[in-house]
Amino acid sequence: MQQESETPSSASDSEPRRFPCAQCGASLEYAPGTDALRCGHCGYENRIVGSTAPILEQDFRETLRSLTTNAATRDNIAIHCDSCGASYSFDAATHAGQCPFCGAPVVAKTEQHRQLQVQALLPFQIGRDQARVAFRRWLGGLWFAPGGLKDYARNDARLAGMYVPYWTYDADTTTRYQGERGDDYQVQESYRVIENGEEVERVRIVTKTRWTPATGTVSRFFDDVLVLASRSLPQDVTERLEPWDLANLTPYQEEYLSGFQSEMYGVELEQGFERARELMAPVIRRDIEHDIGGDHQRIHTLETRYGAIRFKHILLPAWLSAFRFRDKTYRFVVNGRTGEVQGERPYSAWKIALAILLAALLAGGGLAAWQYLSAAKQGPALDYRPRYGWVPTETHRLQNANPVGSPGA
Ligand SMILES: [Zn+2]
Ligand SMILES: [Zn+2]
């Protein structure tokens, strides 16, 4: 049976709203991939009435001014993790537990955050069970992962459904530049060589470049430049989760957050735009090079004016798992829309050594392999297992997994 959402029982400005089940009173939670809230207890469903309001982008400079008067913000109560600095909304069920960003135990310590309001979000499409399957498959495909990592995933990996904060920026840019255009031309050059004891003159074709000054102006409109507003997730890992289907952004409604957590942004609106400028810069340089034309381009100076800048504060869905091993945190993220997994990972040194040995056996054939083996038995080649059970981690991309290459080599 479906009904429209009722007015939630306790609605305050700062705490997450609860949506009680009309049938049994338990908390309703957003059901990923649907437009409904579902009761985990009795299965009752409430349909979320979608907002028809357009998603409005805000004026950047005006908002920066209004931030000084707190006009555009609201208070949020958040849990703060002292280990990694993450601040996130508490889910009514867990006031204490493990920090989903770093795996450290957190005791509920709440604090007030004045934050800009969220304009839009992408609701979860992938549920917890699907995320777990994707995560395990990813781990299963990792070569050289220590056995302990897989045991962890099988037994105690806790996946937290987290809405991760992002900014998007639009900007109308105009860039004036000064540089040089290089045009290639060919000349015949004569030169002398000694041949059979005689000096002879030869001719060769040489390519040269003629440089001429170039100045001009290029314009480009940037739409929805995406900037991570979390300081708790590694940027290189989250960037590999892109692209997001931003065309499906839904106006912010608290129902979608029910049963999930959301992180408070740690990158402020103004800092986020600095990152957006970094992302725009190479595109502008390419525009300039194209504008200069010729065979080669040099850019000496450029000055960009950012006209109308607009932004949105949005939330994107991810399943997180953090795992601590020997004082280091390894973080895994599952894209809550597509199920794609990215993460940091440790390597097992002895599994790598074994693979190198195996490769040598295959490549070297009988005698060489026998020699290698004897050398390995005597020498310290395989001897480092107990001392370096784990070698330093590096972030890892599944698509690039290379079964025989050693990490960092
Ligand atoms: Zn119920
Ligand atoms: Zn933490």
What is the CA(27)–ligand 1 centre distance, in A? 7
What is the CA(349)–ligand 1 centre distance, in A? 50
Better-scored residue on pLDDT, 399 or 133: 133
pTM: 0.76
What is the CA(86)–ligand 2 centre distance, in A? 6
- Whether the pLDDT of residue 10 is over 50: the answer is no
Query: What's the CA gap between 6 and 21, in Å, rounded?
Result: 9
Average pLDDT over residues 236-240: 87
Mapping DSSP to helix (H, G, I), strand (E, B) and coil, where does residue 60 land? helix
- Ligand with smallest separation from the Cα of 87: 2
- pLDDT tier, 338 (very low <50, low <70, confident <90, very high otherwise): very high
pLDDT computed for residue 15 by the predictor? 64
What is the CA(20)–ligand 1 centre distance, in A? 8
pLDDT computed for residue 40 by the predictor? 87
pLDDT in tens, 89-134: 876 555 457 788 888 877 666 777 788 989 999 999 999 999 988 8
- Ligand with smallest separation from the Cα of 45: 1
* Average pLDDT across the chain, whole number: 80
- In this structure, are residues 226 and 267 in contact, taking their beta carbons and an 8 Å threshold? no
pLDDT in tens, 243-299: 899 999 999 998 999 989 999 999 999 999 999 999 999 999 999 999 999 999 999
- The total of other beta-carbon atoms located within 10 Å of residue 329's CB is 18
Better-scored residue on pLDDT, 149 or 317: 317
- pLDDT tier, 211 (very low <50, low <70, confident <90, very high otherwise): very high
- Whether the pLDDT of residue 402 is over 50: the answer is no
- pLDDT tier, 306 (very low <50, low <70, confident <90, very high otherwise): very high
- Whether the pLDDT of residue 348 is over 90: the answer is no
- pLDDT tier, 27 (very low <50, low <70, confident <90, very high otherwise): confident
pLDDT computed for residue 346 by the predictor? 65
- pLDDT tier, 307 (very low <50, low <70, confident <90, very high otherwise): very high
Kindly report the length of the chain. Answer: 409
**Helices marked H in 218-348 — which ranges?**
235-239, 269-292
What is the CA(45)–ligand 1 centre distance, in A? 8
Q: Which residues have CB under 8 Å from 71's CB, separation 6+?
A: none
- Whether the pLDDT of residue 179 is over 90: the answer is yes
Tokens of 187: 């000349």
